[in-house]
Amino acid sequence: MALMGVDTRCLGLFLLCTITGHSLEIKVNPPQDFEILDPGLLGYLYLQWKPPVVTEKFKGCTLEYELKYRNVDDASWKTIITRNLIYKDGFDLNKGIEGKIRTHVSELCTNGSEVQSPWTEASYGISDEGSLATKIQDMKCIYYNWQYLVCSWKPGKTVHSDTNYTMFFWYEGLENALQCADYLQDNGKNIGCKLSNLDSSDYKDFFICVNGSSKLEPVRSSYMVFQLQNIVFLGFQSATDKNDMKLKRRENESEEVCFFVRCKVNIYCADDGIWSEWSEEECWAGYTGQESKIIFIVPVCLFFIFLLLLLCLIVEKEAPEPTLSLHVDLNKEMYAYEETLC
């Protein structure tokens, strides 16, 4: 009986030890005052926090922080292990940002066992001022010959006639965000920007914000982030989906740049499309914008397609055998038409 009593007492003690052992497991607090700060650099944000309150046991221990962050809706988190109390990175401000952080105690201090705190979270988002229909569309940026950064956009879907847009940019090395000084304009409205002398801006995130104003309604801001070396266009020519744009420097070395456009006709009887002749040059001063170019290009392209279809039909009817030589003739004929029309 006495033996039994000892046994149950031991068992009880053992259970108590196991349970309290678990609940008394060495614990550490998460960092304090975790927050995501926007210093106004168009997407470059500061994630910062203060050290946790630590129990006597961990005084003098090295603490590490495990930081995870992402743009809302991104599939994966970026993870950083650091001993610092701040981390900076670039984000896409068109979307919200979320982050979480927890404390790790160095294993030297815990006899090899993993000790970490629960997560503490923070989030950030630009206020959604203005309807989506006021936000610019089709923002495009190209860095020509490592010299000029040219960005262009179209106005929002439905905007009041007094709406005008402004572009700001920032990259590491600039004290604060700067406004574009050389806008491309269409009827007095900003539709693009040309930047040059971008000193030591390669291999860094380049942040852009295009916001706007109207007396009648707020205008939604649009953000973009890229690295210049990824959007370089070497040579003075660039091809877009349907039409083609050529950029050249003025012969008088005044650093003025001019655009030329041509259209590609996707024809049915030749494998490759046929290019029209280059248009009259369009320079920055007289830049008329994407819309007017499309107005010019679309009917010309449609006309070519119609003409080629007609020619295809004639060719198929009259001469089914020597197709190859006829194609060559066709192309020549087309060039003659292009010269007069485009």
CB of 154 to ligand NAG, least distance (A): 18
Asked if residues 213 and 219 have their Cβ atoms less than 8 Å apart, the reply is yes
Would you say 184 or 315 has its CB closer to ligand NAG? Answer: 184
Interface residue list for ligand NAG (CB under 6 A): 40, 111, 166, 168, 177, 209, 211, 213, 250, 252, 254, 256
> HSE (CB half, 13 Å, CA atoms) of 165?
31
Would you say 242 or 250 has its CB closer to ligand NAG? Answer: 250
DSSP3 helix / strand / coil % (the chain, rounded to 5): 25, 40, 40
> HSE (CB half, 13 Å, CA atoms) of 46?
10
Would you say 177 or 297 has its CB closer to ligand NAG? Answer: 177
> DSSP code of 246?
E
CB of 11 to ligand NAG, least distance (A): 25
CB of 61 to ligand NAG, least distance (A): 10
Would you say 284 or 304 has its CB closer to ligand NAG? Answer: 284
Cα→Cα distances 68→41, 87, 98, 228, Å: 21, 11, 8, 27
CB of 284 to ligand NAG, least distance (A): 10
In 3D space, the residue among 293, 280, 277 whose CA is nearest the CA of residue 334 turns out to be 277
Would you say 147 or 331 has its CB closer to ligand NAG? Answer: 147
User: Residue 237: which residues within 8 A CB-CB, separation 6 or more?
Assistant: 244, 245, 246, 247
CB of 44 to ligand NAG, least distance (A): 12
Q: For the chain, what's the residue count? A: 342
Would you say 148 or 168 has its CB closer to ligand NAG? Answer: 168
Residue 121: both structure tokens together: 């979270």
Instruction: Tell me the residue nearest to ligand NAG as measured from the CB.
Output: 254
CB of 308 to ligand NAG, least distance (A): 36
Beta bridge partners of 223: 209
